[in-house]
Amino acid sequence: QTVVTQEPSFSVSPGGTVTLTCGLSSGSVSTGHYPSWYQQTPGQAPRTLIYNTNTRSSGVPDRFSGSILGNKAVLTITGAQADDESDYYCVLYMGSGIWVFGGGTKLTVL
Amino acid sequence: QLQLQESGPGLVKPSETLSLTCTVSGGSINSGSSYWGWIRQPPGKGLEWIGSIHYSGSTYYNPSLKSRVTISVDASKNQFSLKLSSVTAAHTAVYYCARQDLSTVTIDYWGQGTLVTVSS
Protein backbone atom coordinates (compact mmCIF):
# COMPACT_ATOMS: atom_id res chain seq x y z
CA GLN A 1 0.00 0.00 0.00
CA THR A 2 1.23 3.47 -0.88
CA VAL A 3 2.30 5.58 2.10
CA VAL A 4 2.81 9.32 1.74
CA THR A 5 5.30 10.58 4.27
CA GLN A 6 5.47 13.94 6.04
CA GLU A 7 7.37 15.17 9.05
CA PRO A 8 5.10 14.74 12.12
CA SER A 9 6.10 18.11 13.47
CA PHE A 10 8.23 21.12 12.68
CA SER A 11 9.06 24.36 14.38
CA VAL A 12 9.94 27.74 12.90
CA SER A 13 10.68 31.15 14.38
CA PRO A 14 8.52 34.10 13.40
CA GLY A 15 9.91 35.58 10.22
CA GLY A 16 11.83 32.44 9.45
CA THR A 17 11.63 30.06 6.51
CA VAL A 18 10.49 26.46 6.77
CA THR A 19 10.33 23.69 4.19
CA LEU A 20 7.88 20.85 4.74
CA THR A 21 8.31 17.72 2.67
CA CYS A 22 5.99 15.13 1.12
CA GLY A 23 7.51 11.85 0.03
CA LEU A 24 6.63 8.31 -0.91
CA SER A 25 7.49 5.20 1.06
CA SER A 26 8.57 3.69 -2.24
CA GLY A 27 9.65 5.78 -5.17
CA SER A 28 9.83 9.47 -5.95
CA VAL A 29 7.22 12.18 -6.00
CA SER A 30 6.92 13.85 -9.40
CA THR A 31 4.76 16.49 -11.00
CA GLY A 32 2.72 13.59 -12.34
CA HIS A 33 1.41 13.08 -8.81
CA TYR A 34 0.00 16.64 -8.93
CA PRO A 35 1.04 17.33 -5.33
CA SER A 36 -1.30 19.62 -3.42
CA TRP A 37 -1.05 21.12 0.03
CA TYR A 38 -3.73 21.94 2.59
CA GLN A 39 -3.70 23.95 5.79
CA GLN A 40 -5.93 23.01 8.70
CA THR A 41 -6.48 24.78 11.98
CA PRO A 42 -8.26 23.04 14.87
CA GLY A 43 -11.99 22.60 14.38
CA GLN A 44 -11.90 23.84 10.79
CA ALA A 45 -12.11 22.21 7.41
CA PRO A 46 -8.85 22.17 5.46
CA ARG A 47 -7.99 25.08 3.19
CA THR A 48 -6.30 24.56 -0.16
CA LEU A 49 -2.92 26.28 -0.36
CA ILE A 50 -1.07 24.83 -3.35
CA TYR A 51 -2.13 22.56 -6.20
CA ASN A 52 -0.47 21.05 -9.22
CA THR A 53 2.91 21.20 -7.43
CA ASN A 54 3.33 24.97 -7.37
CA THR A 55 0.09 26.84 -8.13
CA ARG A 56 -1.22 28.94 -5.27
CA SER A 57 -4.92 28.77 -4.63
CA SER A 58 -6.88 32.01 -4.80
CA GLY A 59 -6.17 34.30 -1.86
CA VAL A 60 -3.13 32.40 -0.61
CA PRO A 61 -0.25 34.72 0.29
CA ASP A 62 2.87 34.46 -1.83
CA ARG A 63 4.93 33.50 1.21
CA PHE A 64 3.60 29.99 0.51
CA SER A 65 5.23 28.19 -2.39
CA GLY A 66 5.43 24.64 -3.66
CA SER A 67 7.98 22.72 -5.68
CA ILE A 68 9.68 19.38 -6.22
CA LEU A 69 13.07 19.03 -4.56
CA GLY A 70 14.88 15.81 -5.21
CA ASN A 71 12.40 13.00 -4.81
CA LYS A 72 9.87 14.91 -2.72
CA ALA A 73 7.29 17.63 -3.03
CA VAL A 74 7.95 20.54 -0.72
CA LEU A 75 5.96 23.38 0.76
CA THR A 76 8.03 26.40 1.67
CA ILE A 77 6.79 29.13 3.96
CA THR A 78 8.93 32.26 3.78
CA GLY A 79 8.57 34.82 6.54
CA ALA A 80 6.48 32.64 8.80
CA GLN A 81 3.77 34.35 10.80
CA ALA A 82 2.06 33.35 14.02
CA ASP A 83 -1.16 32.46 12.22
CA ASP A 84 0.73 29.99 10.03
CA GLU A 85 0.74 27.69 13.06
CA SER A 86 -1.44 24.88 11.72
CA ASP A 87 -1.45 21.33 10.47
CA TYR A 88 -0.31 20.92 6.88
CA TYR A 89 -1.27 18.00 4.68
CA CYS A 90 -0.05 17.00 1.28
CA VAL A 91 -2.08 14.90 -1.12
CA LEU A 92 -0.78 12.94 -4.07
CA TYR A 93 -2.83 11.72 -7.00
CA MET A 94 -1.80 8.14 -7.71
CA GLY A 95 -3.77 7.77 -10.92
CA SER A 96 -6.88 5.70 -11.63
CA GLY A 97 -8.92 8.00 -9.42
CA ILE A 98 -6.93 7.25 -6.27
CA TRP A 99 -5.80 10.03 -3.93
CA VAL A 100 -3.55 9.57 -0.89
CA PHE A 101 -3.07 11.96 2.01
CA GLY A 102 0.15 12.30 3.90
CA GLY A 103 0.04 11.97 7.66
CA GLY A 104 0.29 15.72 8.15
CA THR A 105 2.85 18.04 9.73
CA LYS A 106 2.06 20.05 12.84
CA LEU A 107 3.84 23.38 12.42
CA THR A 108 4.65 25.43 15.49
CA VAL A 109 5.67 29.08 15.14
CA LEU A 110 7.67 30.20 18.16
CA GLN B 1 -19.75 30.15 -4.75
CA LEU B 2 -19.97 26.40 -4.47
CA GLN B 3 -21.02 25.13 -1.05
CA LEU B 4 -21.16 21.59 0.32
CA GLN B 5 -23.06 20.49 3.42
CA GLU B 6 -22.93 17.11 5.10
CA SER B 7 -25.96 15.65 6.85
CA GLY B 8 -26.75 12.43 8.67
CA PRO B 9 -26.81 10.77 12.08
CA GLY B 10 -24.14 11.82 14.54
CA LEU B 11 -24.30 8.51 16.38
CA VAL B 12 -24.16 5.04 14.88
CA LYS B 13 -24.10 1.71 16.70
CA PRO B 14 -21.26 -0.76 16.17
CA SER B 15 -21.83 -3.23 13.32
CA GLU B 16 -24.41 -0.94 11.71
CA THR B 17 -24.08 1.16 8.54
CA LEU B 18 -22.96 4.78 8.63
CA SER B 19 -24.89 6.87 6.11
CA LEU B 20 -24.15 10.47 5.18
CA THR B 21 -25.38 12.78 2.45
CA CYS B 22 -23.68 15.81 0.95
CA THR B 23 -25.82 18.52 -0.60
CA VAL B 24 -24.14 20.70 -3.20
CA SER B 25 -25.37 24.26 -3.71
CA GLY B 26 -24.18 27.14 -5.83
CA GLY B 27 -23.31 24.83 -8.70
CA SER B 28 -24.28 21.64 -10.45
CA ILE B 29 -23.11 18.19 -9.51
CA ASN B 30 -23.29 17.40 -13.23
CA SER B 31 -19.90 18.89 -13.90
CA GLY B 32 -17.69 16.84 -16.17
CA SER B 33 -14.51 18.00 -14.49
CA SER B 34 -15.63 17.27 -10.92
CA TYR B 35 -15.34 14.26 -8.70
CA TRP B 36 -17.32 14.37 -5.47
CA GLY B 37 -15.51 12.82 -2.58
CA TRP B 38 -15.54 11.84 1.07
CA ILE B 39 -12.63 12.36 3.45
CA ARG B 40 -12.51 11.49 7.12
CA GLN B 41 -10.46 12.54 10.13
CA PRO B 42 -10.49 10.52 13.36
CA PRO B 43 -10.21 12.69 16.48
CA GLY B 44 -6.66 14.00 16.86
CA LYS B 45 -5.48 12.23 13.71
CA GLY B 46 -4.85 12.98 10.07
CA LEU B 47 -7.03 13.11 6.99
CA GLU B 48 -7.87 10.02 4.96
CA TRP B 49 -9.44 9.94 1.50
CA ILE B 50 -12.36 7.49 1.48
CA GLY B 51 -13.50 7.65 -2.11
CA SER B 52 -15.03 9.69 -4.91
CA ILE B 53 -17.78 9.58 -7.48
CA HIS B 54 -18.31 11.26 -10.84
CA TYR B 55 -21.83 12.33 -11.80
CA SER B 56 -21.70 9.64 -14.47
CA GLY B 57 -21.59 7.11 -11.65
CA SER B 58 -17.94 6.11 -11.90
CA THR B 59 -16.61 5.44 -8.42
CA TYR B 60 -13.13 5.26 -6.94
CA TYR B 61 -12.39 3.95 -3.46
CA ASN B 62 -9.51 3.83 -1.03
CA PRO B 63 -8.30 0.23 -1.39
CA SER B 64 -8.13 -0.16 2.40
CA LEU B 65 -11.83 0.69 2.76
CA LYS B 66 -13.22 -0.59 -0.51
CA SER B 67 -14.97 -3.63 0.92
CA ARG B 68 -17.07 -1.47 3.29
CA VAL B 69 -17.74 1.67 1.24
CA THR B 70 -20.43 2.65 -1.23
CA ILE B 71 -20.66 6.14 -2.71
CA SER B 72 -23.64 7.08 -4.82
CA VAL B 73 -24.96 10.19 -6.54
CA ASP B 74 -28.45 11.64 -6.98
CA ALA B 75 -28.05 14.32 -9.62
CA SER B 76 -31.74 15.26 -9.44
CA LYS B 77 -31.19 16.41 -5.86
CA ASN B 78 -27.62 17.67 -6.41
CA GLN B 79 -26.51 15.26 -3.69
CA PHE B 80 -24.08 12.43 -3.22
CA SER B 81 -23.93 9.94 -0.39
CA LEU B 82 -21.62 7.71 1.60
CA LYS B 83 -22.40 4.36 3.15
CA LEU B 84 -19.85 2.62 5.37
CA SER B 85 -20.90 -0.80 6.56
CA SER B 86 -20.11 -2.81 9.70
CA VAL B 87 -18.65 0.13 11.55
CA THR B 88 -16.57 -0.07 14.69
CA ALA B 89 -15.33 2.54 17.15
CA ALA B 90 -12.35 3.02 14.83
CA HIS B 91 -14.70 4.64 12.33
CA THR B 92 -15.49 7.49 14.71
CA ALA B 93 -14.37 10.59 12.84
CA VAL B 94 -15.25 13.92 11.32
CA TYR B 95 -16.46 13.18 7.82
CA TYR B 96 -15.97 15.81 5.14
CA CYS B 97 -17.49 15.91 1.70
CA ALA B 98 -15.50 17.72 -0.94
CA ARG B 99 -15.15 18.52 -4.61
CA GLN B 100 -12.13 17.17 -6.40
CA ASP B 101 -11.51 19.17 -9.56
CA LEU B 102 -10.10 16.99 -12.32
CA SER B 103 -8.84 19.95 -14.34
CA THR B 104 -6.54 21.13 -11.55
CA VAL B 105 -6.29 17.79 -9.72
CA THR B 106 -7.04 19.37 -6.41
CA ILE B 107 -9.62 19.33 -3.64
CA ASP B 108 -10.94 22.84 -3.96
CA TYR B 109 -14.19 22.93 -2.01
CA TRP B 110 -14.87 21.33 1.36
CA GLY B 111 -17.92 20.89 3.52
CA GLN B 112 -17.67 21.98 7.14
CA GLY B 113 -17.48 18.36 8.29
CA THR B 114 -19.74 16.32 10.52
CA LEU B 115 -18.71 14.24 13.53
CA VAL B 116 -19.96 10.68 13.51
CA THR B 117 -19.45 8.70 16.69
CA VAL B 118 -19.70 4.91 16.68
CA SER B 119 -20.89 3.77 20.07
CA SER B 120 -23.54 1.58 21.60
pLDDT reported for residue B31: 82
B64 touches chain A (CB under 8 A): yes
| pLDDT tens-digit map of B92-111 | 999 999 999 989 999 999 99
Contact by Cβ (8 Å): B73, B29: yes
DSSP character at residue A57? P
DSSP assignment, residue B71? E
Q: Is A10 on the interface with B (CB under 8 A)?
A: no
* Residues from chain A contacting residue B105 (CB–CB below 8 Å): 34, 36, 51-52, 93
- Answer positive or negative: Cα dihedral of A89, A49, A45, B105: negative
Measured between beta carbons, the chain A residues lying within 8 angstroms of B63 are 1, 98
CA proximity to A52, closest of B102, B105, B37? B105
Q: How far apart are CA A89 and CA A103, in angstroms?
A: 7
- pLDDT value at residue B111: 97
Q: Could you tell me if A94 lies within 8 Å of chain B, comparing CB atoms?
A: no
Residue B35 to residue A97, Cβ atoms within 8 A: yes
Residue A8 touches partner B, C-beta closer than 8 Å: no
Chain A environment of B60 (Cβ under 8 Å): 96-98
pLDDT one digit per residue (tens) for chain B, 120 residues:
999 999 999 999 999 999 999 999 999 999 888 999 999 999 999 999 999 999 899 999 999 998 999 999 999 999 999 999 999 999 999 999 999 998 999 999 999 999 999 999
B42 touching chain A per CB within 8 A: no
In angstroms, rounded to a whole number, what is the distance separating the alpha carbons of residues B87 and B17? 6
The letter for the amino acid at B84 is L
- Radius of gyration, alpha carbons of chain B: 13
The verdict on a CB contact (< 8 Å) between A46 and B110 is yes
Kindly tell me if the per-residue pLDDT of A93 is higher than 90. Answer: yes
Percent of chain A residues past pLDDT 70, beyond the cut: 100
Burial B69-89 (b: 16+ CB within 10 A, else e): bbbebeeeebbbbbebeebee
Structure confidence at residue B98 (pLDDT): 97
CB pairs under 8 A between A and B: 62
Note the pLDDT of residue A1: 78
Which residues on chain A are in Cβ contact (under 8 Å) with B113? 45
- Vertex B35: Cα angle to A46 and B37 (nearest 5): 50
